[in-house]
């Protein structure tokens, strides 16, 4: 439901209640957490999590109070799930499922076909063995988690950064263009097979293709991914939605109109096609001044504004709970403060702007 229809519905409900003498509902302004405000609008508010932090009281309280969905930041990747050939380790992933169940949260799975965080053993397998190995991995993992997952990132980051084709094993292994999962820049056979296998293994999970720098229409990589997905959908490949990771920088204002245009063309592909905002963070070049935090807050809330305008945007996930454990400082020297809770779990202006937007 869009905001206009929601407002009309609320108004009608209030008028009926006035005349029937029913107690008035809590106004959305009274909702104090992102989780409750997201529920009100039918949006999942998620966080990427590390189960080894669940025992930390502030982590636990912030997570279960403010978020309604969790995704494993690392422990459902292939290196953790299948560290040795045919030997699966579900222990850390299962602890996320247990946490979500105990706190009535939804779960996303991340990630099945991905060129990174692979176990060492698979890198020495000949290409001819990879289809069976990947499909067995997908089948085993989705069967294990069947009925528990809202959605899966079945395919992650397969398009080269310049949009010229698919990452593949003919590229220089030292570059980000390299992937074991394709034999050429146009070889999409494992991608499509991955989706078919995932659908069979867990028919109820929403199957997503996820990427970064794919959110703005007109960007070469975004346009390439869109045209590939459009072709696959046309061929009947069971893809239910696209994930925009949205690892952004505070100093660059996103092109919101181009993001909306991109969403428009994706949701026109087939009825029910979803767009998930899967890994949002907005990194700041240190020091994080008040002005930079305000810019960051504006970016987070603009993205929520877009999500609220589209019923098809069902998921809004931040890539972590707290700046204390964010991946950003370790990967981008001089950058940090990318999330909506600070190192001490205090809500930042971005959190408050999100809550305002939802209210």
- In the complex, the smallest distance separating the C-beta of residue 111 from ligand G3I, rounded to whole angstroms, is 6
* Active site annotation includes 157: yes
Report if residue 245 touches ligand G3I, rule: CB under 6 A.
yes
Taking residue 123's Cβ as centre, other Cβ atoms within 10 Å add up to 9
Residue 315 forms beta bridges with which residues? Answer: 44, 276
- In the complex, the smallest distance separating the C-beta of residue 319 from ligand G3I, rounded to whole angstroms, is 6
> In the chain, which residue ranges form alpha helices assigned H by DSSP?
3-20, 34-41, 57-66, 78-81, 91-102, 120-123, 130-144, 189-201, 220-234, 256-267, 290-309, 328-331, 349-358
Per-residue contact flags (x/-) with ligand G3I for residues 162 to 201, judged by CB under 6 A: ----------------------------------------
Per-residue contact flags (x/-) with ligand G3I for residues 98 to 137, judged by CB under 6 A: ------------------xx--------------------
Annotated catalytic residue, options 66, 73, 157, 215? 157
Q: What are the b/e assignments for 178-215, b being 16+ CB within 10 Å?
A: bbbbbbebebbebbbbbbbbbbebbeebbbbbbbbbbb
Report if residue 281 touches ligand G3I, rule: CB under 6 A.
no
As a whole number of angstroms, the distance between CA 295 and CA 104 comes to 33
Q: DSSP 3-state assignment of 315?
A: strand
- In the complex, the smallest distance separating the C-beta of residue 248 from ligand G3I, rounded to whole angstroms, is 12
Work out which of 36, 66, 73, 202 binds ligand G3I, going by CB under 6 A: 73
Report if residue 89 touches ligand G3I, rule: CB under 6 A.
no
Q: How many residues bind ligand G3I (CB under 6 A)?
A: 7
CA dihedral angle for residue 226, residue 230, residue 235, residue 239, rounded to 10 degrees: 70
Work out which of 28, 53, 74, 192 binds ligand G3I, going by CB under 6 A: 74
* Active site annotation includes 286: no
Residues known to be catalytic: 157, 279
Q: Which residues would be at the binding site for ligand G3I (CB under 6 A)?
A: 73-74, 116-117, 245, 279, 327
């Amino acid at each position: 439901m869009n905001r206009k229809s929601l407002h009309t519905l609320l108004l009608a409900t209030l008028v009926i209640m006035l005349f029937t003498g029913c107690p008035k509902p809590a106004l959305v302004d009274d909702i104090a957490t992102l989780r409750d405000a997201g529920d009100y609008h039918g949006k999942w508010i998620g966080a990427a999590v590390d189960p080894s932090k669940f025992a930390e009281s502030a982590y636990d309280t912030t997570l279960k109070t403010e978020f309604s969905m969790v995704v494993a930041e690392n422990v459902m990747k292939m290196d953790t799930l299948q560290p040795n050939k045919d030997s699966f380790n579900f222990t850390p992933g299962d602890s996320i499922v247990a946490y979500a169940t105990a706190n009535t949260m939804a779960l996303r799975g991340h990630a099945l076909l991905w060129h990174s965080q692979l176990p060492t053993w698979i890198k020495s397998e000949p290409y001819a063995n990879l289809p069976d190995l990947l499909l067995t991995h997908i089948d085993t993992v989705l069967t294990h988690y069947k009925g528990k997952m809202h959605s899966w990132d079945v395919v992650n980051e397969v398009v080269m950064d310049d949009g010229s084709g698919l990452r593949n094993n003919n590229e220089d292994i030292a570059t980000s263009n390299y992937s074991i999962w394709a034999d050429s820049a146009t070889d999409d056979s494992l991608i499509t097979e991955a989706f078919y296998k995932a659908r069979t293994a867990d028919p109820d999970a929403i199957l997503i293709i996820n990427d970064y720098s794919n959110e703005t229409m007109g960007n070469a990589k975004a346009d390439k991914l869109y045209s590939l997905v459009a072709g696959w959908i046309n061929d009947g490949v069971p893809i239910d939605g696209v994930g925009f990771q949205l690892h952004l920088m505070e100093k660059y204002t996103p092109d919101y109109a181009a993001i909306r245009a991109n969403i428009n063309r994706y949701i026109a592909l087939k009825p029910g096609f979803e767009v998930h905002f899967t890994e949002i963070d907005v990194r700041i070049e240190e020091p994080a001044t008040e002005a930079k935090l305000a810019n960051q807050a504006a970016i987070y809330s603009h993205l929520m504004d877009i999500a609220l305008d589209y019923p098809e945007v069902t998921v809004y996930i931040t890539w972590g709970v707290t700046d204390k454990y964010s991946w950003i400082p370790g990967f981008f020297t001089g950058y940090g403060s990318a999330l909506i809770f600070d190192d001490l779990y205090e809500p930042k202006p971005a959190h408050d702007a999100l809550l305002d937007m939802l209210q």
